[in-house]
């Protein structure tokens, strides 16, 4: 039987979708720098000077490593940059989906919306103010956030860092920072080479974590880098104080990284779905050569290819979610038990990441071809989905890294 979301998870996804539509389109910062992939080889240095230490202080403090409450440096200033309405890149009729997250709102406004919806506390244990949700709930939420192209370090703050802090065995750190993450008052940055060589919003996040094989440390942010996705700022991070270390951390760190990659894959699937919906809507409404362009089989075939790719990727995503049945120690991270053999987690997560990334990439290419030149303009807003799909496909492990891991796991199983 193919794994699928439970009725409760489906209902959660529908309610989250409705809430995000009601909240309106997220403001989109327009960067003057474009064309740089979100990878170490394609980032550009903005500043070379070392920044203040990012070792976290006590919550509520204002010392080094702490941004102002609600100020996460996501940077959404520009007026009028949001699409006219609706939930997809193309928007809907003017006046629909009134935006409650104003385009000139402070940078914490976007994450505040997610906190009100309970999304920021999904992976945080209930005893620390979170929801203690299942892996499936995280996947549902991440797909909807991708569908709406919600900005921010989603996989880091919603999944990986909460699991690391809850499972590392440092109760003081967990009691200090997990309630802050659950309430959406703090964003978390994470580096875990080779998958995550730099931290997203590492220079402005409330906490920055460095994950090794058997050690979890705080991080200090250094040089900042731009990304093709102008809603992302990357930072070099150097290790600082030790949070926890020891052989017992190996499975905790592995699980946190797999969960982050799975959430990233779900975002990619949501991005692909959003671009397909926008492309179908555009093909219905755009008239050329005496009628809508959607009547041409060449356009229909390309859109059908995207639909097939997304449908093929979804079972792999949910198979990986089912495989991530937590151990007794993992339950302390607030994740409900799964149903499948956890021995295939590495293989299944990598397969999901590759499949969802390829489907999103195809959706991006077809969306741009369907929209034509208008899809390249900043005013239209499709570029938000295009650039997000590009950078997330390279984040949390490149396709080559995940394919290599699949081959390794298959060889081990023989």
Minimal CA–CA distance to 350: which of 271, 409, 283? 409
59 vs 34, 181, 334, CA distance in Å? 36, 11, 21
User: What does the pLDDT read at residue 32?
Assistant: 27
Per-residue pLDDT of the chain (414 residues; tens, 9 = 90+): 678 888 888 888 888 888 777 776 665 432 322 223 333 333 333 333 333 333 444 443 433 333 333 333 333 222 222 332 344 554 432 222 223 343 333 336 678 888 888 899 999 999 999 999 999 999 999 999 999 998 889 999 999 999 999 999 999 999 999 999 999 999 999 999 999 999 998 878 889 999 999 999 999 988 888 888 888 889 999 998 999 999 999 999 999 999 999 999 999 999 999 999 999 999 998 888 888 888 989 999 999 999 999 999 999 999 999 999 754 344 554 444 443 444 799 999 999 999 999 999 999 999 999 999 888 887 788 988 999 999 999 999 999 999 999 999 999 887
Secondary structure E strands in 233-305? 233-245, 287-288, 291-292
pTM above 0.75, yes or no: yes
Peptide bond into 355 cis (omega under 30): no
Q: Which residues contact 372 (CB under 8 A, 6 or more apart)?
A: none
**3-state SS class at 50:** coil
The token pair at 49 is 């000077």
CATH code of the region 7-413: 1.20.140.10
Q: Which residues contact 247 (CB under 8 A, 6 or more apart)?
A: 214
């Amino acid at each position: 039987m193919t794994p699928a979301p439970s009725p409760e998870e489906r209902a959660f996804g529908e309610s989250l979708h409705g809430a995000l539509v009601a909240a309106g389109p997220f403001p989109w910062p327009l960067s003057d720098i474009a064309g740089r992939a979100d990878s170490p080889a394609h980032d550009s240095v903005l500043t070379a000077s070392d920044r203040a230490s990012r070792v976290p202080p006590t919550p509520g403090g204002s010392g080094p490593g702490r941004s102002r409450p609600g100020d996460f440096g996501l940077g959404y200033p520009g007026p009028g940059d949001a699409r006219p309405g609706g939930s997809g890149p193309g928007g809907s009729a003017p006046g629909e989906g009134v935006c409650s997250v104003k385009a000139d709102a402070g940078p914490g406004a976007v994450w505040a919306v997610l906190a009100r919806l309970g999304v920021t506390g999904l992976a945080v244990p209930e005893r620390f103010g979170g929801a203690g949700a299942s892996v499936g709930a995280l996947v549902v939420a991440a797909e909807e956030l991708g569908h709406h192209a919600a900005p921010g370090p989603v996989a880091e703050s919603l999944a990986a860092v909460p699991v690391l802090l809850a499972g590392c065995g440092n109760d003081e750190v967990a009691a200090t920072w997990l309630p802050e993450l659950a309430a959406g008052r703090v964003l978390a940055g994470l580096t875990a080479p080779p998958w995550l060589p730099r931290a997203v919003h590492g220079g402005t996040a409330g906490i920055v974590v460095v994950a090794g094989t058997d050690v979890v440390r705080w991080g200090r942010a250094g040089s900042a880098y731009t990304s093709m996705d102008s809603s992302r700022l990357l930072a070099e991070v150097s290790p600082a104080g030790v949070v926890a270390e020891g052989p017992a951390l190996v499975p905790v760190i592995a699980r946190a990284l797999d969960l982050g990659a799975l959430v990233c894959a779900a975002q990619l699937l949501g991005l692909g779905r959003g671009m397909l919906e926008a492309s179908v809507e555009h093909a219905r409404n755009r008239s050329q050569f005496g009628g809508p362009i959607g009547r041409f089989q060449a356009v229909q075939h390309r859109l059908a290819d995207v639909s097939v790719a997304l449908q093929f990727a979804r079972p792999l995503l949910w198979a990986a979610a089912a495989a991530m049945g937590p151990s007794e120690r993992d339950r302390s991270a607030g994740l409900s038990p799964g149903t499948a053999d956890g021995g295939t987690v590495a293989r299944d997560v990598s397969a999901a990441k590759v499949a969802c990334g390829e489907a999103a990439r195809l959706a991006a290419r077809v969306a741009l071809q369907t929209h034509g030149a208008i899809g390249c303009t900043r005013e239209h807003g499709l570029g938000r989905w295009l650039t997000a799909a590009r950078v997330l496909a390279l984040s949390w492990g490149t396709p080559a890294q995940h394919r290599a891991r699949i081959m390794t796991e298959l060889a081990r199983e023989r």
